[in-house]
Amino acid sequence: MFSKNARQPYRLRLVWMAVAVAATLACSAHASDKAPAKVRVGVLEFGSVNWEVDVMQAHGLARKQGIELVEVKLASGDASTVALQGGAVDVIVSDWIWVSRQRARSNLYAFVPFSNAVGSLMVKNDSPYRKLADLKDRKLGVAGGPNDKTWLLLRAYAQRHLDADLTRFLKPSFAAPPLLNELAMRGQVDGALNYWHYAARLEANGMHALVTMPEILRGLGIDKPIPLLGWVFRDDWAAGNQDAVKGFLKASYEAKALLAHSDAEWERLRPRMRAESEVIFKALIKGFREGIPTCSGQATMAAVEKTYGILAEVGGRQLVGDTTTLAPGTFWPSFQLPAC
């Protein structure tokens, strides 16, 4: 299915990543002798979080760390943060914008990178649009709402490179990701700014990226891959359950390493992925693998802080609250990827 030799350097990097993370997050030597610690993970019905949790469960990666992983199905991203705040779950996937805003309000949550994968602005292959400026006065569908980070970054990019406010330059409309894909394929919007796994489906159905998020970030002076999504949990819960948290994160990165190199594992996951075709199946694998965080460091954190500043400028208080800088402690200090 995939070229083994072409992926060898990347796979070796992922193996090193798994080893380094395992060393950083080494659990107690006798974890297997203890009663398993329950970790309740909030997951949406569809999406890449399910795939990783499935791997953790199927291969006993969490159990090996002395953890009983409990999946709690949730309806939406908003439901995830509500569940975490209400104590119904211990861990969810969210972004560091939400974590920083909460910390600024003395609600102490922490973030650990889950994925660097980001979306793209997609248009039909037979459309006349060749650059962002071509969408002037056209309909652009945007996943999520007006404070979605991909939309805000695209707005910042347009302001810098087109001297244009996209809220007036084109006609944005906001929709849930699955609905947006339907609208895009039916031609009811001229372009679609959607999340990576939905963009992969659009690409397999006759669309291509007009602008990718890495291009947008580079256009804003951010030249390092940054994690936009991460595992999020309360500081006080982590302090009282350090072995469980570290074991969970170790299992998570072992699952990522397996998904990075095992085509057979993806075949096992295929029913959960609901890929409508072989092209979509391969696109989803490619997107997930490219989004695996493999390293971090001062340059990465500088890029995150710069991105936060841009988002704060465009999104204002409604997005970031009362602070325009990333709150200290947003990235959990007890977790560390290998240096880039």
For 161-208, write each residue's pLDDT tens digit.
999 999 999 999 999 999 999 999 999 999 999 999 999 999 999 999
For 323-334, write each residue's pLDDT tens digit.
889 999 999 999
Residue 224 sits at φ, ψ, to 5 deg, of -120, 140
Mean pLDDT of the chain: 90
Residue 156 sits at φ, ψ, to 5 deg, of -65, -40
Please name which of 141, 238, 227, 138 lies closest in space to residue 184, comparing C-alpha atoms.
141
- What pLDDT score was predicted for residue 17? 56
- What pLDDT score was predicted for residue 75? 86
Assigned CATH for 8-116+227-320:
3.40.190.10
In the predicted structure, residue 12 carries a pLDDT above the cut 90 = no
Please name which of 214, 249, 244, 264 lies closest in space to residue 336, comparing C-alpha atoms.
249
Confidence band for 27, pLDDT divided at 50, 70 and 90: very low
Confidence band for 14, pLDDT divided at 50, 70 and 90: low
Answer for the pair 315, 153: CB distance below 8 angstroms, yes or no: no
Exposed / middle / buried, residue 85 (Cβ in 10 Å: 0-12, 13-18, 19+)? middle
In the predicted structure, residue 37 carries a pLDDT above the cut 70 = yes
In the predicted structure, residue 158 carries a pLDDT above the cut 90 = yes
- What pLDDT score was predicted for residue 140? 98
| Residue 78, CA atoms < 13 Å, CB-side half-sphere | 5
Mean pLDDT of 264-284: 94
Answer for the pair 128, 134: CB distance below 8 angstroms, yes or no: yes
CA–CA distance, 92 with 21 (Å, rounded to integer): 20
Report the relative pairing of strands 207-212 and 171-175 from DSSP bridges: unpaired
One fold for 8-116+227-320 and 120-219: yes
Provide the whole-model pTM.
0.87
Mean pLDDT of 2-25: 50
Task: Read off the DSSP letter of residue 327.
Answer: P
Q: In Å, how far from its chain's centre is CA 65?
A: 24
For 275-292, write each residue's pLDDT tens digit.
989 999 999 999 999 999
Please name which of 228, 288, 284 lies closest in space to residue 258, comparing C-alpha atoms.
288
In the predicted structure, residue 19 carries a pLDDT above the cut 80 = no
- What pLDDT score was predicted for residue 35? 81
What one-letter code names the amino acid at 133? A
Q: How many CB atoms lie within 10 A of CB 11?
A: 16
Angle between helices 48-58 and 263-273 (to 10 degrees): 120
For 88-120, write each residue's pLDDT tens digit.
999 999 999 999 999 999 999 999 999 999 889
- What pLDDT score was predicted for residue 42? 96
Exposed / middle / buried, residue 328 (Cβ in 10 Å: 0-12, 13-18, 19+)? exposed
CA–CA distance, 201 with 296 (Å, rounded to integer): 29
CA–CA distance, 338 with 340 (Å, rounded to integer): 6
Contacts of 234 (CB under 8 A, 6+ apart): 84, 90, 108, 109, 110
Angle between helices 242-261 and 48-58 (to 10 degrees): 100
Answer for the pair 231, 110: CB distance below 8 angstroms, yes or no: no
- What pLDDT score was predicted for residue 144? 83
SS3 label, residue 238? helix
- What pLDDT score was predicted for residue 46? 76
Mean pLDDT of 60-72: 96
Confidence band for 250, pLDDT divided at 50, 70 and 90: very high
- The fold of the 120-219 domain, in CATH, is D-Maltodextrin-Binding Protein; domain 2 (3.40.190)
Please name which of 136, 180, 174, 181 lies closest in space to residue 152, comparing C-alpha atoms.
174
Give how far Cα 103 sits from Cα of 99, 111, 295, Å. Answer: 6, 11, 25
Q: Where are the domains of the chain?
A: 8-116+227-320, 120-219
- What pLDDT score was predicted for residue 6? 43
In the predicted structure, residue 4 carries a pLDDT above the cut 50 = no
Mean pLDDT of 226-240: 96
